[in-house]
Amino acid sequence: MEEPGAAEPPPGPRPLLLPGELLRSRKGRLLLAESVLSFIIFICYIASLATSFMTAPLLEFLLALFLFFAYASKLNEKFKGLYWPLMDFLRCVTAAIIYFAISIAAVSKYNDGASKAAGVFGFIATIVYAIDFYITFNDLVTFLKQGSSDSPEGHKSEDEDSNSDSD
């Protein structure tokens, strides 16, 4: 006879820990790198003369952190109504463009060390986001191809598509 509590995990902080499978995946490592870089850039902009640029890294940090925990808790599998690859692709493209632009402005316009550091970390973040949107674009293409083959229009034969009246 089994004890009633034998199948349940032991109480404690174990359920709060992130699954190792996400951290071992390429997407998990990219999201973690994006979060860390965005936070570092945010701190650098707070300490610099270019404090007007601190909003973009803060928002990107929060978005990357949200997606990290969304993928960790498998929200992308629970909420099928959202196009997760498209949302992630748009986030990565806009982040890469914004980081590139504010990094150029921070490095060229401001002379303090924190602005220069934020600009250098911004260029690194641009590269990380560019890698992520390249990988996400490939996932998005397969996602959209898979979605179009499931639709009824994707199963038409060539005879149904032709518009010729050969009677």
Round to whole Å and give the CA distance between 163 and 167: 12
- 10 Å Cβ neighbour count for 164? 6
- Assess whether pLDDT exceeds 70 at residue 9: no
Q: Is residue 83 part of a domain?
A: yes
Q: Is residue 111 part of a domain?
A: yes
Task: Summarize pLDDT for 131-147 with one digit per residue, the tens.
Answer: 998 998 988 888 778 87
Q: Is residue 4 part of a domain?
A: no
Mean pLDDT over each residue of the chain, to the nearest integer? 81
Torsions phi, psi for 11 (to 5 deg): -70, 155
41 or 7: whose pLDDT is higher? 41
Give the DSSP H or E segment for 145: helix 113-150
Q: How far is CA 55 from CA 4, 8, 29, 131, 133, in A?
A: 51, 43, 24, 23, 21
51 or 103: whose pLDDT is higher? 103
Q: Is residue 36 part of a domain?
A: yes
71 or 3: whose pLDDT is higher? 71
Q: Is residue 6 part of a domain?
A: no
Q: Is residue 11 part of a domain?
A: no
- State which residues form the domain around 92: 20-146
Q: Is residue 107 part of a domain?
A: yes
Round to whole Å and give the CA distance between 33 and 67: 12
Question: Are 49 and 110 within 8 A, CB to CB?
Answer: yes
Q: Is residue 69 part of a domain?
A: yes
pTM exceeding the 0.85 threshold for the entire prediction: no
Q: Write out the E strands in 3-80.
A: none
Structural domain tally of the chain? Answer: 1
- Name the packing angle between helices 84-109 and 113-150 (round to 10°): 160
Q: How far is CA 107 from CA 12, 38, 41, 162, in A?
A: 47, 17, 13, 58
- Assess whether pLDDT exceeds 90 at residue 96: yes
